[in-house]
Amino acid sequence: MMRELSLHILDIAQNSIKAEAECLRIAVIENLETDRLTIKIKDDGTGMDSETVRRVIDPFYTTRTTRKVGLGIPLFKLSAEQCSGYFEIKSQLGSGTEITAVFQHSHIDRVPLGDMPETIITIINACEHMDLVYTHTYNNETFTLNTKEIKKLLDGVPINNLDVIKWLREYISEGLTEIIGVH
* Farthest CA pair distance, the chain: 47
In which region does residue 122 sit, left (phi positive, over 0), alpha (psi from -120 to 50) or beta (all else)? alpha
Give the count of domains, the chain: 1
| Beta strands in 111-178, from DSSP E residues, in sequence order | 131-138, 141-146
CA dist 82 and 41 (Å) reads: 20
pLDDT at 83: 97
Q: Looking at this protein, which amino acid is placed at residue 14?
A: Q
Question: If you compute the radius of gyration of the chain from its CA atoms, what whole number of angstroms results?
Answer: 16
Confirm if 27 and 137 have CB atoms less than 8 A apart. Answer: yes
Residue 101 lies in domain = 5-180
68: confidence class by pLDDT, cuts 50, 70, 90: very low
pLDDT at 69: 46
pLDDT digits over 146-180, tens only?
999 999 999 999 999 999 999 999 999 999 999 99
Question: Which 3 state secondary structure label does DSSP give 172?
Answer: helix
| Domain harbouring 143, CATH code | 3.30.565
